Amino acid sequence: MEKLIAQIKQGKVWPFPGGIHPPGQKTISTGQAITRLPLPDKLVVPLKQHIGANGKLIVDKGQQVLKGQALTKPVANWSVPIHAPTSGVITDICQMPSAHPSALPELSIIIEPDGQDRWCTLNPVPTPSLLSHEQLIDIIHDRGIAGMGGAGFPTYIKADSRKAIEYFIVNAVECEPYITADDMLMREYASGIIAGIEIMQQLLTPTLTIVGIEDNKPEAIAAMQTAAAHNDKIIIQTVPTVYPSGGEKQLIQLLTNKEVPSGGIPADIGVLVQNVGTLFAVNQAVFEGKPLIERVITVTGNTIHNPGNVWALLGTEIKHLLDCQGFSPVPQQRVVMGGPMMGFTLPTVRIGVVKTTNCILAPDHEELAEPGPEKACIRCSACADACPASLLPQQLQWFAKSKEYDKLKEHNLFDCIECGACAYVCPSEIPLVQYYRVAKVEIKEQQAEQVKAERAKERFELRKQRLEREQEARQNRHKRKPATEKSADEKQKIADALARVKSKPAKDDDKSAVAAAIARAKAKKQNQGAGLEPDNSDVALERAARKEQARKYKEQKAAASTTDGDKAAPADDKKAAVAAAIARAKAKKAASSTTDSETATTTPADDKKAAVAAAIARAKAKKAAKAEQADSLEVDQTQSETAAPADDKKAAVAAAIARAKAKKAAKAEQADSLEVDQTQSETAAPADDKKAAVAAAIARAKAKKAAKAEQADSLEVDQTQSETAAPADDKKAAVAAAIARAKAKKAAKAEQVSSVEKDNAVDETAPTTKNQEPGTEAQPEQTAQDKKKAAVAAAIARAKAKKLQQEGSDK
């Protein structure tokens, strides 16, 4: 580093690639000192005159303002305020054409000067060395200082650099043709510029400060050397006249032999660059308290009769500058803001001066000829040789025309400083810089859209996560709490309910079993759903009490109707039908018993009859076994109905299953009866006594079938009674009906077994035909016609029995 400093102090400079030597034309405007323009009729002050965000308006239309009064205040980063260039009245705040090649409208403040040029209160600082770093930064920020030599970068951002600065470079090269504003400023205000440099040295504390000036400005070099003689850390360095040596990166390479990396800034290599006009504004802001409201502008060109440099208030219309300097326009006159290399043609002269305006050029057609039509590239490589950034202008132009933005980035389009050297040397007159500018804007727009899309995606994801969290929270609110053990009071209530159910006086064993089963089922359900189901023990007890009351009411009504039938109220039709069915069943049962006893004592038996009786006994035993099986199925169904928690649908299903099983058992019994009849017909003797025995057996079978059918009718009627008479609960009625059917079947089974035993006893003790008394005549043999009659009678009997059985099951 010391070696480099020594080389710099010796005046050594390093070349940069490329560069051109266009005609300077600077002597046109350096013949006289800087003059001050008269006040214009109006000032058009745009809110944005720098890189960064606009300030916030703090004035209103019609308000009186003073010279130097703030019109906006910074509200965001890289935002600096603007100030009133003179005293007057704000006549309007509206959209006006901007100082841009597109002249797009932007918000501007229109001020009508009052001619008094009255200043607001100023706060000068005579000894800035006593101020802190932050105080100096605030002064520079509040006075609205921005870069006056290029893009208008806010000065307070550079002055508050967080990176160590080794070399502070002052750009006084002013390499572009026609422009002499910085040259004249250094000639006349060198001491003020050196004072501004010293303020920046206080803020940045650089190792060395270098002022670079082209060797075509001898007066400015001499003035600056004289003003900086007292400060040994300031070196006035002369550089060769080459365009564009005034570019920031090119000047750094010229003075320090350091190269700014692609996509980087000078601070990355410990260097910071400021323009001489900016440093003079810093001097005025600190020592005089003046905000940036005016600047030096070069007004030149062959159509200007009095070319020179003027102090112009910010917001002064370009037309006012031209008129004050003697403007004589030619047909199709062009007015350029800036120099002929990097400037742009204004669409109107009603645009106001801004902080970055350093030159107004009004050439005639010979001085600055109109560009000819664009021709095809001849690949001469002159553009690449002239490029100071070592780019490939030809390839960049092709990629820009085909909108291949990725390839433009790969070829470092944004390293282009838009100096115009490539277009200046192009023999095909291709406006290369215009292609690059358009491509840069499109790429920036594309990047902005991508940033927007990313932000929108991020917002969408955040919103989606928020909605999911809200939905999950709603679901959690509606979820039941986890199961917990019941409290001691709830357990005691359950125990008391079970005790009350068990301690009730039972009318019979079946009712007690049903009640116990219901109680157990309820207790089990409550214990399993502890913490998940509400406690319904009180409701269950009330329901049980209502059922018990209904049952008692039913019993009392039945007892009253039995003991006092004459005084009873008119019976229900269904009840009368039940009573009639019961009476018929009793009568048939009595008749059947009488017939069986008479037949057993009067009918003579023989060996064949004994065989028939044995077959009948076996058939009856088989029927009894099947009936027992059906009864067990019925009882199992009843148990399942009483044990599980019953509801209406399950009770209906269980009843249907029970009826189906009963019908199946009846069909099986009928099939056995037919088998017995078949056995009888096959084993019947031709004798009349055999026929009589068979007829008696058939009669007994028919009577028993009729009795069973009648019994089934009575059971069905009992079921009807239980469903229609009592107001008891449906579930209890279904259970009671099932128990009643089971009891009836058990009784019928017992009676059937006793009848079978009696028949077997009679058959075994009866005398055979071989032991008949003497003198008894044998019956004549049965004829074929009699056999047919007997078969027909048996079939008729079976059909009638089947019909009676079906009618009983339907009832």
Q: In what order do the strands lie in the sheet with 336-337?
A: 35-36, 308-313, 294-300, 359-361, 336-337, 344-345
Closest CA to 69 of 142, 138, 146, 156: 142
Amino acid 541: pLDDT: 77
Q: Which two tokens stand for residue 272?
A: 């910071």
Amino acid 521: pLDDT: 73
Amino acid 637: pLDDT: 44
Residues in the annotated binding site: 377, 380, 383, 387, 416, 419, 422, 426
pLDDT higher than threshold 60 for residue 277: yes
pLDDT higher than threshold 50 for residue 757: no
Mean pLDDT of 68-83: 92
Kindly report the backbone phi and psi dihedral angles of residue 243, in degrees, each rounded to the nearest multiple of 5, phi listed first. -90, 130
65 forms beta bridges with 88
pLDDT tens digits, residue range 555-610?
Answer: 887 777 655 544 444 445 566 556 666 767 676 665 555 444 444 444 434 455 55
3-state DSSP of 192-213: HHHHHHHHHHHHHCCCEEEEEE
- Total Cβ atoms within 10 A of residue 96: 19
Distance, in Å, from the CA atom of 77 to the CA atom of 74, rounded to the nearest integer, reads 8
What's the one-letter identity of residue 612?
V
Distance, in Å, from the CA atom of 551 to the CA atom of 557, rounded to the nearest integer, reads 10
pLDDT tens digits, residue range 132-154?
Answer: 999 999 999 999 999 998 788 99
Rg (CA), the chain: 62
Share of the chain above pLDDT 90, in %: 50
Check: pTM over 0.85? Answer yes or no: no
CATH topology of domain 1-27+127-289: Rossmann fold (3.40.50)
Amino acid 412: pLDDT: 92
Do 139 and 285 meet the contact criterion of CB atoms below 8 Å apart? yes
Amino acid 59: pLDDT: 95
Amino acid 551: pLDDT: 81
Residues in the annotated binding site for [4Fe-4S] cluster: 377, 380, 383, 387, 416, 419, 422, 426
What's the one-letter identity of residue 660?
A
Reported as type and span, the H/E element at residue 679 is helix 648-683
Amino acid 303: pLDDT: 94
- Total Cβ atoms within 10 A of residue 124: 12
Closest CA to 295 of 274, 319, 318, 311: 311
Model confidence at 268, pLDDT cuts 50, 70, 90, reads very high
pLDDT higher than threshold 90 for residue 462: yes
Query: Please, what is the average pLDDT of the chain?
Result: 78
Mean pLDDT of 405-428: 93
Q: Half-sphere exposure (CA, 13 Å, Cβ side) for 474?
A: 5
Amino acid 624: pLDDT: 57
pLDDT higher than threshold 90 for residue 111: yes
3-state DSSP of 67-106: ECCECEECCCCCCCCCECCCCEEEEEEEEEECCCCCCCEE
pLDDT tens digits, residue range 425-446?
Answer: 999 999 999 999 999 999 999 9
Mean pLDDT of 379-405: 94
Least confident of 36-45, 60-69, 391-400, 725-734: 725-734
Q: Half-sphere exposure (CA, 13 Å, Cβ side) for 382?
A: 16
pLDDT higher than threshold 70 for residue 223: yes
Mean pLDDT of 167-175: 94
Distance, in Å, from the CA atom of 779 to the CA atom of 686, rounded to the nearest integer, reads 8
Amino acid 345: pLDDT: 92
Mean pLDDT of 648-675: 59
3-state secondary structure of 561: helix
Do 34 and 309 meet the contact criterion of CB atoms below 8 Å apart? yes
Q: Which two tokens stand for residue 392?
A: 């490939």
Amino acid 532: pLDDT: 46
Amino acid 82: pLDDT: 95
pLDDT tens digits, residue range 676-711?
Answer: 444 444 444 444 455 655 665 666 766 666 556 555
Q: Does 244 sit behind a cis peptide bond, omega within 30 degrees of 0 on the bond before it?
A: yes
What's the one-letter identity of residue 628?
E
Please return the burial class of 480, using the count of CB atoms within 10 Å of its CB with bins 0-12, 13-18 and 19+.
exposed
Least confident of 126-130, 576-580, 626-630: 626-630
Q: Give whichever of 458-472, 504-518, 705-719, 792-806 has the largest mean pLDDT.
A: 458-472
Share of the chain above pLDDT 70, in %: 66
Amino acid 120: pLDDT: 95
Do 305 and 345 meet the contact criterion of CB atoms below 8 Å apart? no
pLDDT higher than threshold 50 for residue 538: yes
pLDDT higher than threshold 80 for residue 719: no
**Higher-confidence residue: 327 or 761?**
327
What's the one-letter identity of residue 242?
V
Amino acid 781: pLDDT: 41
Least confident of 92-96, 460-464, 485-489, 503-507: 503-507
Per DSSP (E only), the strands in 9-160 are: 35-36, 43-46, 56-57, 64-65, 72-73, 88-97, 105-113
Do 416 and 389 meet the contact criterion of CB atoms below 8 Å apart? yes
Mean pLDDT of 770-785: 42
Q: Which two tokens stand for residue 753?
A: 């077994």
210 forms beta bridges with 169, 235
Model confidence at 796, pLDDT cuts 50, 70, 90, reads confident
Kindly report the backbone phi and psi dihedral angles of residue 654, in degrees, each rounded to the nearest multiple of 5, phi listed first. -65, -40
- The two beta strands, 294-300 and 308-313, are antiparallel
pLDDT higher than threshold 60 for residue 479: yes
3-state DSSP of 434-503: HHHHHHHHHHHHHHHHHHHHHHHHHHHHHHHHHHHHHHHHHHHHHCCCCCCCCCHHHHHHHHHHHHHHHH
Place of tokens 């009674």: 721
